[in-house]
Amino acid sequence: MERRFRQNADGQMILVDSSVWIGYFSGKINPQTDWLDSALGREIIIVGDLILTEVLQGFKSDREFHTAKELLSRFRFMEMLGQELAVRSAENYRFLRRKGVTVRKTIDIMIILFS
């Protein structure tokens, strides 16, 4: 579920998959969310921009979206797409969903930014 990237000789950074974050924020209890809960504050967790997009786009309320965005911004960030585009992609996805349009793949919403 998570990928480990070598930080240096002293430690590791852990990139947690979006499915684990989604489960964690939705209150699911399973081995992955239990691991994440125990790792918070103990391990070096990084959040990738694509993961940030996938997690943030799932929040229905603005309050939950902004709370999760603030919480996730406290972790180290790994640019895969870029933090600004990741957040814009999530915002666009949520906008389209409110209009009744369901975008099937996250990458499609990212491509829209360049159209």
User: What is the average pLDDT score of the chain?
Assistant: 85
Strands 76-78 and 44-48: parallel
Quick: pLDDT tens for 26-37.
999 999 999 999
Nearest to 65 by CA among 74, 55, 73, 56: 56
Among 24-28, 35-39, 59-63, 101-105, where is mean pLDDT lowest?
A: 101-105
Map out the domains of the chain with their CATH numbers: 2-112 (3.40.50)
Greater confidence, 75 or 103?
A: 75
- pLDDT band of 6, cuts 50, 70, 90: very low
pLDDT at site 109 = 81
Q: Where are the alpha helices (DSSP H) in 26-115?
A: 31-39, 49-56, 62-72, 83-98, 106-112
pTM greater than 0.95 = no
